[in-house]
Amino acid sequence: MSGDHSHNDSQIESGSRYNDSHKHKDKYKDKEHRHKDHKKDKEREKSKYSNSEHRDSSDKKHRDKDKERLKLKDGSSSDKQKDKHKEKKKEERSFDGKPKKERENGFASPFIKSEPENDDFYHSPKHEKSLKRERDDDDAEVKPKKIKTEDDRSEKKAKKRKQVEEDIKPKKKTKDKKGEVATDGKKKAKKEPEDKWKWWEEERYTDGVKWKFLEHKGPVFAPPYDPIPSNVKFFYDGKQMKLSPEAEEVATFFAKMLDHEYTTKDIFRKNFFKDWRKEMTSEEKSKISDLNKCDFSEMSEYFKAQSEARKAMTKEEKLKIKGENERLLQEYGFCVMDNHKERIANFRIEPPGLFRGRGDHPKMGMLKRRIRPEDIIVNCSKDSKHPKPPHGTKWKEVRHDNKVTWLVSWTENIQGSIKYIMLNPSSRIKGEKDWQKYETARRLKKCVERIRSQYREDWKSKEMRIRQRAVALYFIDKLALRAGNEKEEGETADTVGCCSLRVEHLSLHQEMDGQEFVVEFDFLGKDSIRYYNKVPVEKRVFKNLQLFMEDKEPEDDLFDRLNTSILNKHLQELMDGLTAKVFRTYNASITLQQQLSELTNSEENVPAKILSYNRANRAVAILCNHQRAPPKTFEKSMQNLQTKIDAKKEQLADAKRELKSAKADAKVRRDEKSKKAVETKKKAVQRVEEQLMKLEVQATDREENKQIALGTSKLNYLDPRISVAWCKKFEIPIEKIYNKTQREKFAWAIDMAEKDFEF
DNA sequence: AGTCCGACTTAGTAGTTACACA
DNA sequence: TGTGTAACTACTAAGTCGGACT
């Protein structure tokens, strides 16, 4: 399997963010020009709607939505019918890895237990009882009681657990808190339940319902604009000018970014200036007509001084701010969902500012407008205490949709997309989904060989669309490419995934570096990260590619008979719940598992084993092309480490010399005391050796990690149970692999995976 | 069949904090 | 006792995917 997946290290070395690569830049610039011409009209059309009018259209959207919901609620029979049908379909799909019959009777039990939340946050007793998720209560022997967490489980659940987790014994609680300090002690000790809620031992909703009760305090808005002092001046064309507060605020956004490269970019400046002018008074508008004549330098200096001052604050002042943040977190950072207090991921509304897209984004520099309560849709239980809008304001809407997971949403003005406030990854609602994702990937493991032989067969198909589909799937599987939805030109940076690859993104080499049939990929993927890879492929694939590229212009689609929706429909037929991204998850996780078993040597010490883990992790990151900008201080910190290593080596030599002389001494004297001295020296040598080893490992690890980001795969692609099992098997403390946040996110895996877990 | 859009996951980076070390 | 660096967190952009609508 993995032999199939040859991943070229050169990919990393040469890979770089588009902006950093000159060769690349030029290449893409050319293309952009070519594209531009036929984009123009479309763009003009678009921009008409981009700002004020957008609001109207989105309002309308929501009105329509309302209608729709109403319909659903008092439902005409036909609507209901349709809905039921839909939900059933969903249900059948939603529980990966669980036999269907277990799911069907979700929470039939009338048993309701009112379990007091062990903390009175948002307590609304009158509702709690009726809103508790229902469960059966008949398998008391499965798990030891804990005083206040859930103790009602069903037989089905017990079975399910057995099946999924095999023989999970109740564990001594993982005390993963020892290393944590102050803040932790404060909030955790008081607020956190002693026994953490194990949602993974409970029934799940089966019908598209995400919760039964939801209560929260709404979002925290960005602080209002704080005008700069009047002695900080703005100059236009050399003359001082007092700006209106609205125009001034936008000017400060620009001033704050002055040091950044993109304020020099034409598009950025153009977009900024256009949006800035919209905020000006007519007087200002008539005066300020050229951005180049604007002098923001005093503002810029002012903000720099401010940030210096912030750094130089006294301990007390810093503590005060910290305390205030903590208070805000406690008040707004949590919600109650189905009787459990859960952490919210992003409870602050995004503040206004200038949009910074990634890569060559056509909208960079545009003004991201301030979000007001009137823009906000609140989602919560009907019978919860609704969040109050700030004094004198109103929400746009309060709705009670328990088929979605978000608490708050608003429409952003740059792309017109919807932004959400949702729960933290440690929450039940995110965790269940995450777990499910890995179960789907594990199901793929069972049938991946079948799928592979099928697509290989399809390479020979008479039908073009099938060949294209098969070759694309091969890339997705072998190279872990993303699906590649088509995107609107001129709205975003020009990036592609598998289905949206263009002819210009690959070149074919009959022979290259002694290998036959090499495909050279060079394109910008998500976040404008460059994907560069030379891959030898099967002859049949190569021939197909030649065919697909025949008579096409560089900017034509490689797979002109394919898109993500066609591909995913096909995948759905091959396996329930299968989509393109499942391959990424599957290949990432299976690679980790293989690499770990290949690289780990049980004889080695803990740091060496961790190096092996990081290497396995790295193999995955390379596969998934997870890159990062090399840290700014990389070279220097590498040098520092080297000096340390040299010093350690010297120290080791010294220690060895001393040991030698001690030995000689002992030989002559033959007394206890000198024998002991030898022992001590021996120990010293050993200790220094270990330290040196540790440093060297660190150096290797860091060097190999220069441009590779491990975090993304660890967080999103690697089944945490693989890592947990590995830790247990080799007696590595889990803290060495996962930090606190990660342990919270993966609590389910840490609790359920034993050392023999197999992906 | 294609388009649009809502909901949700995946992504890199900027800024902050903790920590090691001279 | 500050300073440099690593680790972590917060932030938000940019994907995926399914379903409604046309």
Per residue in A652-679, pLDDT tens?
888 899 899 999 988 998 888 888 989 8
pLDDT(A213) > 50? yes
Mean pLDDT, to the nearest integer, of A359-375?
Answer: 96
Between the ranges A103-112, A330-339, A631-640, where is the mean pLDDT highest?
A330-339
A721 touches strand C (CB under 7 A): no
Give me A324's structure tokens.
Answer: 């205030």
Cβ within 8 Å of residue A235, ≥6 positions away: A241, A294, A295, A298
A359 touches strand C (CB under 7 A): yes
A445 touches strand B (CB under 7 A): no
**Among A379, A377, A371, CA closest to A396:** A377
- Name residue A11's amino acid: Q
Distance measured from the CA of protein residue A629 to the C1' of nucleotide B13, in angstroms? 9
A430 touches strand B (CB under 7 A): yes
pLDDT value of position A191 = 40
Distance measured from the CA of protein residue A92 to the C1' of nucleotide B17, in angstroms? 46
H/E segment holding residue A410? strand A408-411
CA A109, chain centre distance (Å): 37
CB A377 within 8 A of CB A409: yes
C1' nearest to CA of A499: which nucleotide? C16
CB A438 within 8 A of CB A585: yes
Q: How far is CA A496 from CA A103, A132, A489, A525, A663, in A?
A: 39, 45, 12, 5, 67
A312 touches strand B (CB under 7 A): no
Mean pLDDT, to the nearest integer, of A204-215?
Answer: 93
C1' nearest to CA of A712: which nucleotide? B11
Strand intervals (E) in A200-323: 214-215, 234-236, 239-241, 294-295
* Lowest mean pLDDT segment, chosen from A126-140, A437-451, A516-530: A126-140
pLDDT value of position A697 = 75
β-pairing, A234-236 vs A239-241, is antiparallel
pLDDT(A42) > 70? no
- Name residue A100's amino acid: K
C1' nearest to CA of A368: which nucleotide? C12
Full-model pTM: 0.77
A740 touches strand C (CB under 7 A): yes
Tell me the β-bridge partners of A368: A353
pLDDT value of position A158 = 38
Mean pLDDT, to the nearest integer, of A331-337?
Answer: 96
Report the alpha-carbon distance of residue A712 to residue A723 in Å, rounded: 15
pLDDT value of position A194 = 54
- Transcribe A654-666 into DSSP letters: HHHHHHHHHHHHH
pLDDT(A174) > 80? no
Report the alpha-carbon distance of residue A373 to residue A364 in Å, rounded: 26
pLDDT value of position A284 = 97
CB A734 within 8 A of CB A746: no
- Name residue A526's amino acid: K
CB A527 within 8 A of CB A356: no
**Hits for CB < 7 Å against strand C across A residues 366-395:** 368
**Angle between the N-to-C axes of helices A564-574 and A464-479, in degrees from 0 to 180, rounded to the nearest 10:** 80
CB atoms within 10 A of CB A626: 22
A717 touches strand B (CB under 7 A): yes
β-pairing, A340-343 vs A367-368, is unpaired
Report the alpha-carbon distance of residue A15 to residue A10 in Å, rounded: 8
Mean pLDDT, to the nearest integer, of A211-236?
Answer: 96
**Among A506, A531, A615, A373, CA closest to A11:** A531
A626 touches strand B (CB under 7 A): yes
Of residues A568 and A259, which shows the higher confidence score? A568
Report the alpha-carbon distance of residue A743 to residue A748 in Å, rounded: 9
pLDDT(A366) > 90? yes
- Transcribe A250-267 into DSSP letters: HHHHHHHTTTSGGGGSHH
**Hits for CB < 7 Å against strand C across A residues 415-434:** 415, 417
Mean pLDDT, to the nearest integer, of A354-359?
Answer: 95
Percent over 90 (pLDDT), chain A: 59
Between the ranges A135-139, A311-315, A474-478, A674-678, where is the mean pLDDT highest?
A474-478
Residue with CA nearest C1' of nucleotide C6: A637
A492 touches strand B (CB under 7 A): no
Report the alpha-carbon distance of residue A282 to residue A274 in Å, rounded: 14
CB A442 within 8 A of CB A538: no
pLDDT(A171) > 60? no
C1' nearest to CA of A17: which nucleotide? B12
pLDDT value of position A109 = 29
pLDDT value of position A193 = 52
Mean pLDDT, to the nearest integer, of A27-33?
Answer: 37
pLDDT band at residue A396, thresholds of 50, 70 and 90? very high
CB A90 within 8 A of CB A208: yes
Report the alpha-carbon distance of residue A336 to residue A334 in Å, rounded: 7
Cβ within 8 Å of residue A288, ≥6 positions away: A236, A241, A277, A280, A294
User: In what side-by-side order are the strands of the sheet with A530-536?
Assistant: A506-512, A515-524, A530-536
Distance measured from the CA of protein residue A262 to the C1' of nucleotide C3, in angstroms? 30
Mean pLDDT, to the nearest integer, of A616-626?
Answer: 95
Mean pLDDT, to the nearest integer, of A30-47?
Answer: 36
pLDDT(A17) > 80? no
pLDDT(A114) > 70? no
Of residues A472 and A15, which shows the higher confidence score? A472
β-pairing, A408-411 vs A377-379, is antiparallel
A60 touches strand B (CB under 7 A): no
Phi/psi-derived region of residue A470, left when phi > 0, alpha when psi is between -120 and 50, beta in every other case: alpha
Q: Say if residue A500 is exposed, middle or buried (CB neighbours under 10 Å; 0-12, 13-18, 19+).
A: buried
**Hits for CB < 7 Å against strand C across A residues 501-540:** 525-528
**Hits for CB < 7 Å against strand B across A residues 197-256:** 210
Question: What's the mean pLDDT when you consider all of chain A?
Answer: 78
Radius of gyration of chain A (CA): 30
pLDDT(A125) > 80? no
A15 touches strand C (CB under 7 A): no
Distance measured from the CA of protein residue A568 to the C1' of nucleotide B1, in angstroms? 15
Distance measured from the CA of protein residue A161 to the C1' of nucleotide C9, in angstroms? 33
Distance measured from the CA of protein residue A308 to the C1' of nucleotide C8, in angstroms? 22
pLDDT value of position A534 = 96
C1' nearest to CA of A641: which nucleotide? C5
CB A32 within 8 A of CB A561: no
Catalytic positions of A, please? Answer: 717
Residue in this structure with the two tokens 């022997």, named with its chain if needed? A141
Give 3-state DSSP helix, strand, coil % of chain A, rounded to 5.
55, 10, 35
Distance measured from the CA of protein residue A423 to the C1' of nucleotide B21, in angstroms? 39
**Among A196, A200, A142, CA closest to A720:** A200
Distance measured from the CA of protein residue A691 to the C1' of nucleotide B22, in angstroms? 19
Distance measured from the CA of protein residue A8 to the C1' of nucleotide B8, in angstroms? 32
Mean pLDDT, to the nearest integer, of A104-113?
Answer: 28
Distance measured from the CA of protein residue A714 to the C1' of nucleotide C8, in angstroms? 14
What digits encode the pLDDT tens for the residues A179-199?
Answer: 333 333 333 333 445 578 999
**Hits for CB < 7 Å against strand B across A residues 632-661:** 644
A149 touches strand C (CB under 7 A): no
**Hits for CB < 7 Å against strand C across A residues 544-583:** 564-565, 568, 572, 579-582
C1' nearest to CA of A565: which nucleotide? C17
> Which ranges of A550-671 does DSSP label H, i.e. alpha helix?
564-574, 580-599, 606-623, 634-669
Report the alpha-carbon distance of residue A334 to residue A246 in Å, rounded: 33
Angle at A458 between CA A452 and CA A459, to 5 degrees: 100
pLDDT value of position A6 = 42
Straight-line distance from the first to the last Cα atom of chain A, in angstroms, rounded to the nearest whole number: 14
Q: How far is CA A718 from CA A582, A588, A711, A715, A736, in A?
A: 12, 6, 10, 7, 16
Give me A81's structure tokens.
Answer: 């019918």
* Dihedral sign, Cα of residue A296, residue A302, residue A304, residue A306: negative
Chain B positions under 7 Å from a protein CB?
2-14, 16-19, 22
pLDDT value of position A277 = 97
Residue A357 DSSP code: -
**Among A223, A217, A215, A216, CA closest to A371:** A223
CA A28, chain centre distance (Å): 27
Distance measured from the CA of protein residue A242 to the C1' of nucleotide C22, in angstroms? 52
Report the alpha-carbon distance of residue A708 to residue A710 in Å, rounded: 6
A412 touches strand C (CB under 7 A): yes
- Transcribe A311-345 into DSSP letters: HT--HHHHHHHHHHHHHHHHHHSEEEETTEEEEBS
Residue with CA nearest C1' of nucleotide B15: A307
pLDDT band at residue A37, thresholds of 50, 70 and 90? very low
CB A396 within 8 A of CB A374: yes
CB A612 within 8 A of CB A601: yes
Q: How far is CA A612 from CA A2, A241, A460, in A?
A: 17, 62, 41
pLDDT value of position A528 = 96
A629 touches strand B (CB under 7 A): yes
Distance measured from the CA of protein residue A409 to the C1' of nucleotide B10, in angstroms? 19
Q: How far is CA A169 from CA A174, A175, A217, A516, A753, in A?
A: 13, 16, 38, 53, 10
Residue with CA nearest C1' of nucleotide B16: A311
A414 touches strand C (CB under 7 A): yes
CB A176 within 8 A of CB A735: yes
pLDDT band at residue A473, thresholds of 50, 70 and 90? very high
* Lowest mean pLDDT segment, chosen from A187-196, A439-448, A496-505: A187-196
pLDDT value of position A684 = 84
A418 touches strand B (CB under 7 A): yes
CB A532 within 8 A of CB A522: yes
Mean pLDDT, to the nearest integer, of A65-76?
Answer: 32
Residue with CA nearest C1' of nucleotide B6: A418
β-pairing, A334-337 vs A340-343, is antiparallel
Distance measured from the CA of protein residue A81 to the C1' of nucleotide C18, in angstroms? 19
**Hits for CB < 7 Å against strand B across A residues 538-597:** 563, 565-566, 581, 584-585
pLDDT value of position A388 = 96
What digits encode the pLDDT tens for the residues A131-150?
Answer: 334 333 333 223 332 322 33
CB A735 within 8 A of CB A179: yes
CA dihedral A196, A201, A206, A209 (to 10 degrees): -10
pLDDT(A628) > 80? yes
CA A88, chain centre distance (Å): 30
Distance measured from the CA of protein residue A366 to the C1' of nucleotide B16, in angstroms? 27
